[in-house]
Amino acid sequence: MVNPKVGIAVLNWNGLADTLACLKSLRKITYKNIGIYIVDNGSKSDVATLRRQKGITLIENSRNEGFCKGNNQAIKKALASGCEYVLLLNNDTEVEPRFLSKLVAVAESSSTIGIVGPKIYYYQSKKLWFAGGFINFWIGNTHHKETESMKKQYVDYITGCALLVKRNVIDRIGMLDERFFAYYEEVDFALRARRAGFRAVYVPSAVIWHKVGAATKRMNHFAIRLNLRNRMLLMRKHARWYHFLTFIPCYTTSVILLLGYRTLRGDFKSVQGALQGVYEGITC
């Protein structure tokens, strides 16, 4: 297919400056057959400015619906408008003009390639942030490869920061699992796609920059709850029984250490969040 239409989904939550910078960079890309879908997740004061932006479809939520549901709203709009691909893109990114052309070219090269993603650098330091995602089921952890390589390769998953997916993958496996809300949802999505016969590919020639800030590195009680819950949920959905022989001790140890550390600091909100996350991970 020549220049298939790509829907670009960008979530905004009280991050207007970043979203506008992201839009500015998207307007400079060489790939022109696109539709841009901005989902405002209940921002306090950003909507009026977003309504004035030209060339976008704005979806307004009255509250923060989370990464999964917000992106699913944009995916539905994109598919309804005839898009053959959907790109999930964080609002705190800026893109190299040819990145999307390169991603689409790789995706179009094989019917078994369902998900592709670019090389991602830290915006502030220009150091490498993402060069493919991998999962270790024995300990239930995921990690980003952070070593430079210009070699295209199959990976376990592509980060939701910048993830291009074919329409037929979504038609086959559905959209993001909204139980995750945020964190681990892209890993679950890639594993579901692989089970359906599609592979995820890291494309190092496509480049973007991500404004990873201190707030994303420092976990609050809600993030702790989501991480512990979703780590368990991911394992329950995809791990083999024998993986739990090592995962459970690793998971339990990490929870105990976290509870001890947060208790010593008097951070009882995080303690509550951790306990709630463990409970929800087992029961949801």
User: By mean pLDDT, which of 36-40, 92-96, 134-138, 148-152 is the weakest?
Assistant: 148-152
Q: Is residue 1 in a domain? A: no
Q: Tell me what percent of the residues of the chain surpass a pLDDT of 90.
A: 90
Q: Are 107 and 182 contained in the same domain? A: yes
What does the pLDDT read at residue 147? 77
Interval 121-139 mean pLDDT: 94
Instruction: Say if residue 184 is in the same domain as residue 259.
Output: no
Question: What does the mean pLDDT of the chain come to?
Answer: 94
Burial of 178 (0-12, 13-18, 19+ CB in 10 A): middle
Residues 38-78 have pLDDT tens digits of: 999 999 888 999 999 999 999 999 999 999 999 999 999 99
Domain boundary among 166, 192, 214: 214
Predicted confidence (pLDDT) per residue in 229-279, tens digit: 999 999 999 999 999 999 999 999 999 999 999 999 999 999 999 999 999
Residues counted in the chain: 284
Tens digits of residue pLDDT in 187-197: 999 999 999 99
Q: 155-168: per-residue pLDDT in tens?
A: 999 999 999 999 99
Higher pLDDT, residue 244 or 218: 244
Quickly list DSSP for the chain: --S--EEEEEEESS-HHHHHHHHHHHTT-S---EEEEEEEES-SS-HHHHHT-TTEEEEEESS--HHHHHHHHHHHHHHHTT-SEEEEE-TTEEE-TTHHHHHHHHHHT-TTEEEEEEEEEETTT--EEES-EEEETTTTEEEE--S-----EEESB--TTEEEEEHHHHHHH-S--TTSSSSSHHHHHHHHHHHTT-EEEEEEEEEEEE---HHHHS--HHHHHHHHHHHHHHHHHH--GGGHHHHHHHHHHHHHHHHHHHHHTT-HHHHHHHHHHHHHHHH-
- Same domain membership, residue 199 and residue 276: no
Q: Given 183, 214, 245, which residue is the final one in a domain?
A: 214
pLDDT of 217: 52
**Is 24 domain-assigned?**
yes
Shared domain for 47 and 167, answered yes or no, is yes
Q: What is the mean pLDDT of residues 8-23?
A: 96
Domain hosting 261: range is 219-283
Q: What is the CATH number of the domain that holds 17?
A: 3.90.550.60
My answer on whether 242 and 121 are in the same domain is: no
- Is residue 218 over pLDDT 80? no
**Average pLDDT score over residue span 4-30:** 97
- 215: confidence class by pLDDT, cuts 50, 70, 90: very low
Determine the pLDDT at residue 213.
62
Given a contact cutoff of 8 angstroms between Cβ atoms, the answer to whether 215 and 99 are in contact is no
pLDDT at residue number 171: 98
Residues 238 and 257 in one domain: yes
Is the domain of 82 the same as that of 201?
yes
Please tell me whether residues 88 and 56 are part of one structural domain: yes
Residue 211 has pLDDT above 60, yes or no: yes
Reported as a single tens digit per residue, the pLDDT across 82-91 is 999 999 999 9
Q: Does 165 lie in the same domain as 71? A: yes
164-178 mean pLDDT: 98
pLDDT given for residue 219 in this prediction: 60
Query: How sure is the predictor about 216, in pLDDT bands with cuts at 50, 70 and 90?
Result: low
Residue 214: predicted pLDDT: 42
pLDDT > 70: percent of the chain: 97
| Of 180, 214, 248, the domain-final residue | 214
Q: Are residues 232 and 107 in the same domain?
A: no
Q: What total number of domains does the chain contain?
A: 2
Residue 78 within any structural domain of the chain: yes
